[in-house]
Structures are given as structure tokens and as C-alpha cells.
Amino acid sequence: MVVVPPTGVPERSRATVYDVAERAGVSIATVSRVLRRPEAVSRATTQRVLDAVRELGYVPSGSARGLAARRSGAVGLVFPDFDDVEEIDPVCLSDEPVTVRPDPPGGAEPVTNLYMGEVMRGVEIEAWRHSLSVTVAVARGARKEAVLDDLAGRVDGLVVLGGTVPADVLARIGRSTPVVVVAGHRDGDDHDHVGTANGPGMRVLTEHLLHAHGLRDLAFAGGAADVSDDRDRFDGFRAALRAAGLPAPEAPLLRGDFTQARGRDLARRLVDAGDLPEALVCANDQTALGVLDVLLGAGVRVPQDLVLTGFDGIDAAGRSRPRLTTVHQPMVELGRVAVDALLQRLAGPGAPPTTRVLPVQVLLRESCGCGRA
């Protein structure tokens, strides 16, 4: 890293209401009114105050405002830790401004990040609509709980991704701060919940395979067993089979962890065993894409030799060859509805906890035999 030698010299002040009031020749109450309820102040006074604000570069203190108003005007967003680290080293950079690397290995899988990114965009959009700011925190490392408390203390409510925070910790925090859980089962808690129609979506997809394509020998490749989304999807899969009078397996044929790498492992096992089902229904797109990769490499044709489906509707699923039939989750809406739920909770603290289930879209594409192949 190159550090360019500096040039100028900045100075920094921090004006307060008192400074502005003095300069404008009014009381601090009037300054506050000009900024919060302009309709309550005369035209001339407003102008004088605004001039003083501009001249002093006054920016109201969020802390003071939050304290006085008893609400911070911020929502907190809690993510799980993808990197799963306890320690992160300080930044370490090459001294060379440019290095050359021949053909390095492909990047990691940014997909989970993408999912989070979409949810976050939704949260941000809805927060923006209501003039709220968004503070994010990753529940990571040993100080995890402290980080969460800190966040809870500085926001009006929390949006937490399911499974990110242990139930007991969340319950404790919920005592003082409204919590909305996104994509997680209600386990006897009192939080508001927002989720998607995982089970029905998977059921409709499975029924499509059964009825539109006349398939009978379907297998399920699961994700992480302790994730409620996975359970719901598997249940939807089984429900479709049972409704068609077919035997429903007790457990997924294969069990992955939602990653593409594990999807590859599963596919290799499948190929090695030599006993392919007619269709492999995967618990999520990443798994399916990993499977697809290996299958194609092994000469298995999709969908001719094997029908393959995913779940989530991530971008990459629409760009694979063949394009992946999947179930699209409204991730941005998940975030937006979560904020809505939070606002309603803040408006009516006494109301009983709610659960919202967002609709999904089954996208029929090439990997099941639909779409333009």
C-alpha cells in the first residue's frame, strides 16, 4: 500500500443547538422546532435559524436526540457469521502496487452473502421509506453477545436472521427491544416472525415434476439438518409424494450443508453408486449447481438422464447451463416486510406476536425439461 504524503490541515468543530440559538438570536427550543416541526415557527425566524445552521455547519447530535426523544430512529440488522472466525487479523497488504498471478483458482461462494445482501437491501429500502437508519452487526466470535447487546441498546428494534442468535439470548434481548425473526421457526418465542412459503413452494415444484413430467422416482438432497428452511422444504417434498400415493422417504437421500462444494460431493457419491434417480430435488440452488457441475462432467445429461431442481432463485441459477428450475424466494421483500412488522410492533407494543409468510414463485426452466432447451 502506498501512503501519499499529506498536504492540507483540517480543523473540526461541532456546533450545538446552543451555538445556533445564540447566533440566530432565539432560544434552543425554537432551533429544535425549526428542525422538527417547522410549521410551528414563523417564516422569518425559520430563515434566521436555518442561516445560522448553515453558517455553523450544524448537524444535530443523534445521541442527544435519541435520548431526549426516547427513540433512536434506527433499526438493527443481525447477520450470521459466514466466515466463522474468532479472530480476524489486521489488514495485510502487499507492498507492490501491482502483482501478477497466473490463473488463480476460482473465488469462493458469495451466494450466502448475496442472500443476506438482498434481505439487507429490503431492510434498507423500507427503513429509508420511513426515515429510519439501519445499523448492521454480525454475530461473530466470542464477543458475540456483547455486540448484540450493544446493537440492541442503540436501535428501536432488531431484525434477526433465523438461527443467528441462540433462542435464550434472543429472548433476553426481546425483553427490552422488539425483535423480528426472518426465516426462522417460531420456537415458543414471543418475537414477530417473517418467512416464506418454503413447504408449499417445494410441494408445488415436486407436484410439477410428478404430474407435468410424469416422474416417479424422486430423491431429495437436503441442506443443513438444523435449519428450519431445510425441514420445511423436505416436508413439502414429502407431502407432494404422499398426495400422489407414492412412498415418502423418512430422510433425505443425501444431506449437504447448502454449499456448492458439498453439492459436488453428493453428486460424486451418486455417480459412483451408479444408481441415479429420475429426479434430484435439492434443498437449495447452490447444492443443485454443485451437483449439476459434477453430473455434466460425468456425462450425465440434464434433464434427459436426470431432472434437477434447486430452491432460492439466486442469480447463478438463471445463468447455468441448463438453466435451473427452482423456487424463487422474495428476499428483498423479506427484509421490507420485516421492517414493516417492526414498525407495527413499535406502534402497538401490546399486540400479540405475529407471523407473516411471504409467497414464493416456482420458476420452471430447462433443468426439469421446461423452458426453451
Partner DNA sequence: TCCGACGATGTAAGCGCATACATTCAATCT
Partner DNA sequence: AGATTGAATGTATGCGCTTACATCGTCGGA
Interacting residues with DNA (CB under 7 A): 14, 16-18, 25-33, 35-36, 40-42, 44-45, 58, 60-61, 64-65, 67-70
Please give the Cα distance from 287 to 295 (Å, whole number): 12
Best CA proximity match to 235, nearest among 251, 217, 255: 251
Residue 178 interface partner, choices a copy of itself, DNA, none, CB cut-off 5-8 Å depending on type: a copy of itself
100 interacts with, out of a copy of itself, DNA, none, CB within 5 to 8 A per kind = a copy of itself
Q: Which is nearer to DNA, 72 or 286 (CB)?
A: 72
Considering the rule CB under 8 A, would residue 185 count as an interface residue with a copy of itself? no
Residue of the chain from 18, 51, 86, 143 that contacts a copy of itself (CB under 8 A): 143
C-alpha atoms less than 13 angstroms from C-alpha of 228 in its C-beta half-sphere:
16
- CA pair distance 30, 45, nearest whole angstrom: 8
Least distance (Å) between residue 88 CB and a copy of itself: 6
The secondary structure of residue 359, as a DSSP letter, is -
Cβ distance 223 to 163 under 8 Å?
A: no
State the amino acid at position 119 in one-letter form.
V
Which of DNA, a copy of itself, none is residue 254 near (CB under 5 to 8 Å by kind)? none
Cα–Cα dist 137/140, whole Å: 9
Q: Name the residue type at position 50.
A: L
Angle at which helices 17-24 and 43-56 pack, to 10 degrees? Answer: 120
Count CA atoms closer than 13 A to 12's CA, side-chain side.
1
Among 37, 43, 84, 96, binds a copy of itself (CB under 8 A): 96
Residue 32 vs 309, nearer CB to DNA: 32
Q: Which does 276 bind (CB under 5 to 8 A by kind): DNA, a copy of itself, none?
A: none
Q: Does 121 bind a copy of itself (CB under 8 A)?
A: yes
Whether the Cβ atoms of residue 258 and residue 283 lie closer than 8 Å to each other: yes
- Residue 273 near which of a copy of itself, DNA, none (CB within 5-8 Å, type-dependent): none
- Per DSSP, what are the bridge partners of residue 193? 181, 355
Whether 300 contacts 85, CB under 8 Å = no
142 binds a copy of itself (CB under 8 A): no
Does position 159 interact with a copy of itself (CB under 8 A)? The reply is: no
Closest separation in Å from C-beta 25 to DNA = 7
Q: Would you say 28 or 246 has its CB closer to DNA?
A: 28
Verify binding: residue 133, a copy of itself, rule CB under 8 A: yes
**Residue from 23, 208, 262, 264 binding a copy of itself (CB under 8 A):** 208
All three cell numbers of 100, joined, read 501478477
Interface stretch with a copy of itself, choices 25-33, 141-149, 250-258, 302-310 (CB under 8 A): 141-149
